[in-house]
């Protein structure tokens, strides 16, 4: 307590000098806190106000037959079973959308047509977040439920201005369905929203049910899933790993009947990549037909015994029939036999189809599961790797670069089956985290340069103080104060000055952030608008960010003061008492 009182007294004795030095330190702290809060704010905007609505904290994406824009999965319940009963999930939505060409009143432009679930009840928090991100200038979100107009939509203000449309006007759109068919539709503008983010200004919102109808989804089909997670930084990765494990595919099998006699058969798809083709040729012997025809899209191989029972040879046709999972009537398909194998076939009753043609059947009309107690096919030996799975489950990735390579592999490998990818927004947008880190590094570097200059002032101030108080040091040493106490007294003075300066810097920093946040910007068609919330700069100070900045400054100041303080402690009492400054 004695050292504390002496340190406070000494600080007050040199008010002007300490006020100037403390003011400089306070400004440095304010700059560091403000810049750090701004970089955190950018990340929060990107992740929680943009990426969350675009992909969710965790996304389950489907790409059918290598088509990056063909995001469809044919068994909706199957994938929803993989995400149910998860207490960490706040919300799971289908991501339904497509690029379209919109024609307004005399003008046209590209838009992104997005389906939203108008049937769910939003919490107060979710509703506020939605209204903050998409502020309605005309109409309201509930208007998407209207049934008295054709395809009601909400359009961004900038897009409405460009297309020259107003509320209740009609927009005509051209787009492709999930199956590559060119479609056209009319949309009725029932609302206009404001959004500062230039990347969201091309989005047009439509009721999800109507969007699925326009795109050709059937009731049992779904688009990619967008999942919102509690405490995503902590839980998103673990949740994505669990979902990924649950989506491990089995073997794609169609339990069917063939020919007029309805002979039971097992229809399987065989892979047609280069490595698989060579393996097939190595252990399958053809008695008729050719490999060239087998490897065409409609290629079919029959075992010789089955071909004989059905009365067909290479070039002949068979009718395949099987019960469908989602429809009451069975599916019938006429297949042309490309080859007959005398040995090496997967099973005596196996109808082997080229995977391209097989997936056409399998996905378009999902087969029903075999009856209870019926025999199930099990691939053995080399066939385990050669037969087509239900889908292709892509590996989990750790960052944006690996994620991009994964999608390049989709196009390069030309998988015929649906690919499923489970990812978090931290992987798909890890560059945003890098951007925040770069901003923090730049900020800290600039502030450290500033503090280096300030701390030179600390060193010079302490040296001047020691010089002016040399006889005082000699006096307190002569009456019994230890060297350690002298050193600690100067260190404590520096610590107290830094603490007071940091406190003032915090107040100044928060005042600056408050003032800057009051300024309204109008960034029309400017990418910098994505850094704003409701037209204002967005700062997000965090406890760890503020505490870390203050502790960094205190540590630098105390370490800098150590050497002058130790020099003062090492002064000889006799020499110090004889000093005349």
pLDDT 10s digits, 60-107: 999 887 655 678 999 999 999 999 889 999 888 888 888 899 999 999
Q: Across the chain, which distance is largest between two alpha carbons, in Å?
A: 123
Compute the distance between CA of residue 238 and CA of residue 247 in angstroms, rounded to an integer: 15
* CB-based contact 171:155 (threshold 8 Å): yes
pLDDT value at residue 134: 75
Tokens coding 466: 């020691």
Compute the distance between CA of residue 395 and CA of residue 420 in angstroms, rounded to an integer: 9
* CB-based contact 570:483 (threshold 8 Å): yes
Ranking 164-173, 313-322, 528-537 by mean pLDDT, the lowest is 528-537
pLDDT value at residue 381: 81
What are the chain's domains? 2-50+433-577 (no CATH), 56-88+230-249+393-428 (no CATH), 94-218 (2.40.70), 253-390 (no CATH)
pTM: 0.74
pLDDT value at residue 431: 59
pLDDT over threshold 60, residue 332: yes
Q: Which has the higher per-residue pLDDT, 59 or 562?
A: 59
* CB-based contact 206:114 (threshold 8 Å): yes
pLDDT value at residue 253: 95
State the DSSP H helix or E strand holding residue 285, giving kind and residue range, or none if neither. strand 285-289
Mean pLDDT of the chain: 83
Ranking 18-32, 40-54, 386-400 by mean pLDDT, the lowest is 40-54
- 338: CB partners within 8 A, 6+ apart: 289, 290, 293, 294, 296, 298, 299, 300, 301, 314
Give me the mean pLDDT over the 202-218 stretch. 92
pLDDT over threshold 90, residue 234: no
Structure confidence by residue, pLDDT tens digits, 387-410: 999 999 999 987 777 877 877 777
pLDDT over threshold 80, residue 430: no
Neighbours of 124 (CB within 10 A): 7
pLDDT value at residue 391: 93
* CB-based contact 394:335 (threshold 8 Å): no
Structure confidence by residue, pLDDT tens digits, 123-171: 666 666 666 667 788 998 889 999 999 999 999 988 999 999 999 999 9
pLDDT over threshold 60, residue 354: yes
pLDDT value at residue 361: 92
For 558, counting Cβ atoms within 10 Å of its Cβ (0-12 exposed, 13-18 middle, 19+ buried), the class is middle
pLDDT over threshold 60, residue 202: yes
Structure confidence by residue, pLDDT tens digits, 500-518: 888 999 999 999 999 988 8
pLDDT value at residue 26: 86
Ranking 26-30, 147-151, 255-259, 352-356 by mean pLDDT, the lowest is 26-30
pLDDT value at residue 344: 86
């Amino acid at each position: 307590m004695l050292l504390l009182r002496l340190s406070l007294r000494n600080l007050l004795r040199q008010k002007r000098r300490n006020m100037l030095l403390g003011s400089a330190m306070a400004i440095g702290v304010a700059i560091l806190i403000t810049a750090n809060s701004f970089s955190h704010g950018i990340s929060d905007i990107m992740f929680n106000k943009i990426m969350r609505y675009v992909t969710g904290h965790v996304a389950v994406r489907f790409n059918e037959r290598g088509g990056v824009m063909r995001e469809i999965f044919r068994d909706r319940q199957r994938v929803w079973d993989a995400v149910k009963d998860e207490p960490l999930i706040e919300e799971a939505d289908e991501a339904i959308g497509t690029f379209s060409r919109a024609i307004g009143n005399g003008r046209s432009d590209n838009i992104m047509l997005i389906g939203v679930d108008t049937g769910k009840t939003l919490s107060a928090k979710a509703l506020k977040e939605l209204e903050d991100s998409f502020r309605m200038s005309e109409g309201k979100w509930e208007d998407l439920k209207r049934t008295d107009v054709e395809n009601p939509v909400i359009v961004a203000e900038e897009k409405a201005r460009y297309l020259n449309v107003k509320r209740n006007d009609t927009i005509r759109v051209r787009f492709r369905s999930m199956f590559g068919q060119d479609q056209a539709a009319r949309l009725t503008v029932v609302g206009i929203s404001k959004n500062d983010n230039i990347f969201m200004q091309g989005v047009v919102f439509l009721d999800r049910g109507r969007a699925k109808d326009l795109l050709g989804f059937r009731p049992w089909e779904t688009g990619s899933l967008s999942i919102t997670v509690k405490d995503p930084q902590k839980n998103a990765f673990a949740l994505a790993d669990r979902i990924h494990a649950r989506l491990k595919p089995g073997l794609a099998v169609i339990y069917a009947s063939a020919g007029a006699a309805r002979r039971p058969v097992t229809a399987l798809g065989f892979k047609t990549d280069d490595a698989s083709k060579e393996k097939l040729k190595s252990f399958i012997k053809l008695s008729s037909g050719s490999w060239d025809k087998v490897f065409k899209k409609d290629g079919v191989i029959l075992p010789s015994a089955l071909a004989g029972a059905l009365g067909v040879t290479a070039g002949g046709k068979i009718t395949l029939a099987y019960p469908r999972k989602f429809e009451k009537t069975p599916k019938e398909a006429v297949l042309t036999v490309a080859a007959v194998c005398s040995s090496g076939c997967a099973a005596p009753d196996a109808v082997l189809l080229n995977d391209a043609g097989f997936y056409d059947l399998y996905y378009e009309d999902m087969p029903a599961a075999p009856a209870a107690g019926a025999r199930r096919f099990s691939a053995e030996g080399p066939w385990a790797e050669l037969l087509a799975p239900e889908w292709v489950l892509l590996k989990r990735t750790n960052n944006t670069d690996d994620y991009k390579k994964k999608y390049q592999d989709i196009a390069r490998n030309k998988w015929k089956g649906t690919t499923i990818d489970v990812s978090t927004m931290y992987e798909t947008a890890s560059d945003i985290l890098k951007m925040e880190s770069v901003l923090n590094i730049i900020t800290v570097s600039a502030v450290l340069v500033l503090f280096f200059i300030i701390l030179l002032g600390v060193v010079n101030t302490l040296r001047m103080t020691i010089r002016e108080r040399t006889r005082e040091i000699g006096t307190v040493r002569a009456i019994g104060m230890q060297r350690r106490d002298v050193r600690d007294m100067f260190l404590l003075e520096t610590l107290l000055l830094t603490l007071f300066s940091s406190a003032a810097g915090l107040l100044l920093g928060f005042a600056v952030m408050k003032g800057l946040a009051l300024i309204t910007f109008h960034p029309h068609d400017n990418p910098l608008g994505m850094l704003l919330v409701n037209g204002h700069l967005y700062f997000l100070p965090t406890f760890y960010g503020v505490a870390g900045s203050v502790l960094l400054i205190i540590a630098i100041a105390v370490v800098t003061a150590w050497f002058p303080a130790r020099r003062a402690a090492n002064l000889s009492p006799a020499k110090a008492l004889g000093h005349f400054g």
